[in-house]
Structure 1
Amino acid sequence: MAPEGTRTGGPRRILDWIFRDRRTGAITIAQWPNLPLWLFAGTSLADWILHPPGPPGLILRLAAGASLAWWALDEVLRGVNPWRRFLGAAVLAGQALALAAAGF
């Protein structure tokens, strides 16, 4: 039996482990966008607004995908908690599936 006052498990401890930032101790679910996410947002927005045909459109879509993959890999390697690492891995897997579906 555990000493009184100690936590032995349960949903709260699991959620704490998943979402707690290992450096600051704060709960971190989302963060302010970093450079790769800003690049993804900018190239995706430009593609959505301009709809450029041919090579310019392809370049914008490739740049958006590469930026998102960069962000995802960074989260897998340096995410502040398991949630952020899982999120990065899920996005990276989605990008890989999109490439496979496109025939790359």
Structure 2
Amino acid sequence: MKNTLFDKIFRDSNGKIVLAQMPNPPLIVWIASSLLKLIFPTGGISTVLDWLAFGSLFTWAWLELFQGVNYFRRVLGFVVLIGVIASRTVGIDALGYNAL
């Protein structure tokens, strides 16, 4: 099989095109904690959920950046990592709550 730029970007080591995968534990924790933040929008629980969501999404992005199965997944990890850091710098998270 010819190794084209498309193959390098979108195919894994088995030759399969990979754009999305089953969520891994950090992504599952991020989804769950983000949904729980909708139920508990204020108070101490919200603060804990906010940090849990941030930490798990940061971890997921870091893992994708350095262990992603193809270049697309690694770039996705980089973009999410920059977005997560930027959201903390600005102080507003994806759900519109003040993160600081």
TM range (shorter): 0.7 to 0.9
Choose the corresponding residue for 1:36, options 26, 33, 42: 26
Name which one, 1 or 2, has greater alpha-carbon Rg: 1
Deviation at 1:44, TM superposition (A): 0.7
- 2:12 is paired with a residue whose SS is coil
Identity of aligned residues (%): 37
Mapped pair 1:15 → 2:6:
yes
Q: TM-score, normalised by structure 1?
A: 0.81
Choose the corresponding residue for 1:58, options 47, 55, 63: 47
Moved over 6 A (4+): none
Choose the corresponding residue for 1:46, options 31, 36, 41: 36
C-alpha separation in 2, matches of 1:47 and 1:91 = 20
RMSD (Å), alpha carbons? 2.0
Which one-letter code corresponds to 1:75 in the other structure? E
Gaps of 5+ in 1: 1-5
Residue equivalent to 2:59: 70
- 2:69 is paired with a residue whose SS is coil
Deviation at 1:62, TM superposition (A): 1.2
Deviation at 1:14, TM superposition (A): 2.3
Aligned pair count reads 93
Which one-letter code corresponds to 1:17 in the other structure? K
Deviation at 1:52, TM superposition (A): 3.8
Deviation at 1:51, TM superposition (A): 2.6
C-alpha separation in 2, matches of 1:79 and 1:36 = 14
C-alpha separation in 1, matches of 2:17 and 2:88 = 33
Q: TM-score, normalised by structure 2?
A: 0.84
